[in-house]
């Protein structure tokens, strides 16, 4: 065993490969790596990749789940942009919603994780639980429905009436002026989820010696420390968080529907995802629903590329 | 001076600490509202639950709701412990499988160089951005073709390819595990499986503890209604929602159920968070 260089070193190590080797030889040498990836990748192909490809194909068809899909070319996409006014409203709403909640929730996750990380371990664990609470509780909307209830007993209405600021109750969740702002606030409040936990865990993984060395190198306050030490060390997690923010803000539907109902006034809080679910789960127009999901996918990938470019400049 | 550096990092001002603490306490109080409300609801007697206007705090706390719940559970046609077993089976196997397949693949995708790696990495990031809403029909067909309808596997196995888990593990492995350490182990003759199990996984413990929390939350509320029809295979959330939906008089019972359903993930969460803090403390990598 103690003989020469282990063959594994050539398989996986970062050693420069001889250019002459054919792809097949290199693949055979990497069999260990493929074995590691295989269990996940086989399931991933079956349950994600193939269904996604099928749904992209379906987006060019008419498919009502009873008859065999009918090929329609681009007509679903043409209908989306030229024949479906509600969809265009949904696009506008979704963009507004995503442009606000995406970045703000992302910054909130980072800010709170960073501040909490400064505390004693016990306090830190307790505060993490409290901040994460809306993600665990399962009935988060009830509180907001009580607060924004449209009658005089609604908590906010009652307070405003008492103070004499308004003279009759505001229909918070029915009046289009207020619907979108409320939905945005509630979504932000709920947004300390996966990203927040990942940031907390990531911050804990940064070694203390990095900060000790930084202090010796002349880092003066927590802002310098944040910019020069913490953020560069967090780069991998920051990208993860960005993708989470993008997907949750562009695909928002559940919390919005719970607040403003299945048919919001004037479509004021109707989002692309709600439109998709409406066509997919209620009307069984799977071809059209697939076209919407492809559109959503393209938008999300586009914003992910933009964010990736921006993040590569941060902390340098 | 050296003593103080140990106790506290140099770059901190006490004033700043106090401001931050109050800011956090205020935020936390606001965030904890739904949790406090759930607890308060569960102890309200029926007349307080139907009070109008609704009250936030309970005035005459009672255990009646839990009593009623246990009586109803006892009357269940399929014993309630069976539903609990079903839920635990799905949660535990879903979680284990997800952590194992995800971290194995994440290690190779992060630290090995092999043909196709970059494409796989790219596809995984892209797949995070495709909404699962439209893939449920092909998945249903696949699962029934495999004969998994009416088995736990219909819920458990798709969880094993949860891309988010892999992506999370990969980012942590890239950030926390240094190549030099792996090189040293390889020169010592350690197999890749051994490196994965004995070096990589212990180092990224915060990552898979976090992943466990996320998967647990996913699966704990799983009703499995899409694939599981046999009554004795149904899950606890399904059984409890059946009990809760038995009419207006069940409002108290349903408040008790909400609290119980919430407590379990909280216990898992607290346990995992304390483990995360513990690892970082002992391995000398953490903040304190």
| CA B239 distance to own-chain centroid | 21
| The CATH number fitting domain A78-311, selected from 1.10.3720.10, 1.10.490.10, 3.40.980.10, 2.60.40.420 | 1.10.3720.10
In this prediction, residue A184 carries a pLDDT of 93
Is residue B14 in some structural domain?
no
- Interface check for A64 against chain B (CB to CB < 8 A): the answer is no
Structure tokens at B162: 């949860």
Any domain includes B229: yes
Q: Let me know how long chain A is.
A: 316
Highest mean pLDDT among A94-98, A282-286, B221-225: A94-98
Which chain B residues are Cβ-neighbours of A296 within 8 angstroms? 131
Which chain B residues contact residue A221 at CB under 8 A? 11, 13
* Average per-residue pLDDT for chain A: 85
pLDDT tens for each residue of A101-160: 999 999 999 999 998 887 877 788 888 888 988 888 776 777 788 788 777 777 788 888
pLDDT at A211: 83
Report CB contact under 8 Å: B12, A222. Answer: yes
Number of domains in chain B: 1
Give tens-digit pLDDT for B2-36: 333 334 455 567 777 788 888 888 888 888 888 88
A178 interfacial to chain B (CB closer than 8 Å): no
Does the residue B272 lie in any domain?
yes
Percent of chain B topping pLDDT 90: 38
What integer is the mean pLDDT of A52-59? Answer: 91
Mean pLDDT of A11-32: 73
Q: Which residues of A touch B130 (CB under 8 A)?
A: 48, 52, 55, 293, 297
B38 domain residue, yes or no: no
Q: Which residue of A has its CA nearest to B206?
A: A201
To the nearest whole percent, how much of chain A has pLDDT over 90? 35
- Inform me whether the pLDDT recorded for A11 exceeds 60: no
- Span A87-110, mean pLDDT? 94
The CATH number linked to B178 is 1.10.3720.10
CA distance A71 to chain B (A): 18
Residue B251 lies in a domain: yes
* Whether residue A278 has pLDDT greater than 80: yes
Model pLDDT, residue A37 = 95
Residue spans of the domains in chain A: they are 1-58, 78-311
| Greater pLDDT, B195 or B222 | B195
Among the listed residues B221, B236, B208, B218, the one whose alpha carbon sits nearest the alpha carbon of residue B96:
B208
Q: Which are the contacts of A112, defined by CB distance < 8 A and separation ≥ 6?
A: A131, A192, A196, B24, B27
Segment 291-310 of chain A within 8 Å of chain B by CB: 293, 296-297, 300-301, 304
Residue B231 has pLDDT above 90, yes or no: no
Q: pLDDT tier at B278 (50, 70, 90 boundaries)?
A: low
User: Once rounded to an integer, what is the mean pLDDT over residues A175-202?
Assistant: 89
pLDDT of residue A12: 52
Q: What is the pLDDT of residues B51-102, one digit of tens each?
A: 767 777 888 888 888 888 888 888 878 888 888 999 999 999 999 999 999 9
Only one residue has tokens 């006490």, namely B14
B9 belongs to a structural domain = no
What does the block give as tokens for A234?
């967090």
Short-list A129, A101, A265, A264, CA closest to A186: A101
Rounded CA-CA distance B67/A197 in Å is 36
All residues at 6 or more sequence positions from A280 whose CB lies less than 8 Å from its CB, including other chains = A286, A289, B133, B134
Residue B1 lies in a domain: no
pLDDT digits (tens, 9 = 90+) for B164-199: 999 999 999 998 888 999 999 999 999 999 999 999
Of A43, A135, A233, the CB nearest to B160: A43
Q: Give which of B276, B208, B230 is closest to B77, Cα–Cα.
A: B230
A213 touches chain B (CB under 8 A): no
Would you place residue B1 in the very low, low, confident or very high pLDDT band (cuts 50, 70, 90)?
Answer: very low
Question: Can you give the pLDDT at residue B281?
Answer: 52
| DSSP three-state, residue B235 | coil
pTM of this prediction?
0.86
Element (DSSP H or E) covering residue A70: strand A70-71
| Residue to substitute from A47, A156, A241, interface B, most B β-carbons within 10 A | A47
Does the CB of B15 have a partner CB in chain A at under 8 Å?
A: no
pLDDT of A253 reads 85
pLDDT in tens, B104-121: 999 999 999 999 999 999
Segment A177-183 shows an average pLDDT of: 89
For residue B260, give the nearest of B241, B232, B234, B245 by alpha carbon: B241
Alpha helices in chain A (DSSP H): 7-12, 23-29, 31-44, 50-58, 75-78, 85-117, 121-137, 141-147, 155-162, 176-189, 194-204, 208-216, 222-225, 231-233, 235-250, 254-260, 272-277, 286-311
CB-CB under 8 Å, B111 with A197: no
Reported ipTM: 0.86
**Structural domain span for residue B187:** 78-282
Instruction: Answer yes or no: do B189 and A6 touch at CB < 8 A.
Output: yes
More confident residue, A115 or A14: A115
Average pLDDT over residues A11-18: 53
Report the residue from B142, B161, B276 with minimal CB separation from A40.
Answer: B161
Buried (b) or exposed (e) across B265-275, using 16+ Cβ within 10 A? beebbeebbee
- Nearest-CB residue to B183 (from A13, A58, A112): A13
């Amino acid at each position: 065993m103690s003989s020469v260089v282990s063959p594994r070193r050539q398989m996986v190590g970062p050693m420069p490969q001889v250019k002459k080797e054919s792809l097949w030889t290199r693949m055979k040498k990497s069999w260990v790596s493929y074995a590691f990836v295989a269990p996940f990748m086989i399931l991933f192909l079956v349950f994600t990749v193939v269904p996604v490809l099928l749904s992209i194909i379906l987006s060019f068809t008419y498919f009502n789940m009873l008859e065999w899909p009918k090929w329609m070319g681009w007509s679903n996409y043409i209908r989306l942009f030229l024949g479906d006014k509600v969809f265009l409203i949904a696009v506008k709403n979704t963009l507004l919603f995503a442009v606000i909640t995406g970045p703000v929730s992302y910054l909130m996750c980072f800010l709170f994780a960073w501040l909490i990380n400064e505390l004693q371990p016990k306090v830190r664990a307790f505060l993490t639980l409290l901040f994460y609470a809306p993600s665990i509780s399962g009935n988060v909307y009830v509180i907001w429905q009580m607060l924004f209830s449209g009658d005089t007993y609604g908590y906010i209405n009652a307070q405003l009436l008492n103070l004499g600021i308004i003279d009759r109750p505001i229909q918070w969740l029915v009046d289009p002026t207020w619907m979108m702002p409320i939905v945005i606030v509630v979504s932000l409040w709920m947004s300390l989820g996966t990203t927040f936990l990942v940031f907390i865990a990531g911050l804990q993984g940064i070694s203390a010696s990095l900060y000790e060395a930084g202090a010796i190198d002349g880092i003066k306050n927590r802002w310098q420390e944040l910019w020069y030490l913490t953020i560069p060390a967090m780069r991998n997690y920051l990208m993860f968080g960005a993708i989470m923010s993008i997907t949750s803000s562009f695909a928002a539907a559940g919390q919005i529907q719970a607040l403003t109902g299945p048919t919001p006034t004037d479509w004021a809080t109707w989002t692309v995802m709600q439109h998709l679910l409406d066509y997919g789960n209620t009307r069984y127009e799977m071809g059209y629903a697939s076209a919407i999901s492809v559109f959503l996918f393209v938008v999300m990938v586009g914003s992910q590329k933009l964010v990736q470019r921006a993040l590569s400049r941060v902390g340098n | 001076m050296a003593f103080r550096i140990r106790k506290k990092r140099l770059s901190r001002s006490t004033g700043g600490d106090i401001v931050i603490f109050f800011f956090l306490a205020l935020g936390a109080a606001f965030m904890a509202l739904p949790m406090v409300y759930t607890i308060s609801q569960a102890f309200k007697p029926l007349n307080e639950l139907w009070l109008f206007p609704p009250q936030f705090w309970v005035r005459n706390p009672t255990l009646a709701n839990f009593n009623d719940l246990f009586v109803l559970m006892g009357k269940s046609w399929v014993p309630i412990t069976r539903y609990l077993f079903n839920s635990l089976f799905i949660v535990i196997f879903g979680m284990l499988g997800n952590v194992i397949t995800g971290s194995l693949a994440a290690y190779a995708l992060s630290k090995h160089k092999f043909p196709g790696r970059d494409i796989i990495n790219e596809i995984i990031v892209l797949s995070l951005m495709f909404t699962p809403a439209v893939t449920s029909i092909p998945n249903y067909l696949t699962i029934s073709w495999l004969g998994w309808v009416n088995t736990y596997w219909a819920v458990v196995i798709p969880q094993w390819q949860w891309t988010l888990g892999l992506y999370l593990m990969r980012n942590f492995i890239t950030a926390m595990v240094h190549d030099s350490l792996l090189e040293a182990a390889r020169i010592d003759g350690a197999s890749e499986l051994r490196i994965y199990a004995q070096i990589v996984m212990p180092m990224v413990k915060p990552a898979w503890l976090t992943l466990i929390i996320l998967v647990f939350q996913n699966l704990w509320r799983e009703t499995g209604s899409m694939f599981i029809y046999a009554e004795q295979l149904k899950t606890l959330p399904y059984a409890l929602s059946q009990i809760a939906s038995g009419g207006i008089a069940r409002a108290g019972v349903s408040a008790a159920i909400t609290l119980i359903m919430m407590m379990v993930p909280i216990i898992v969460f607290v346990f995992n968070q304390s483990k995360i803090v513990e690892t970082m403390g002992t391995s000398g990598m953490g903040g304190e």
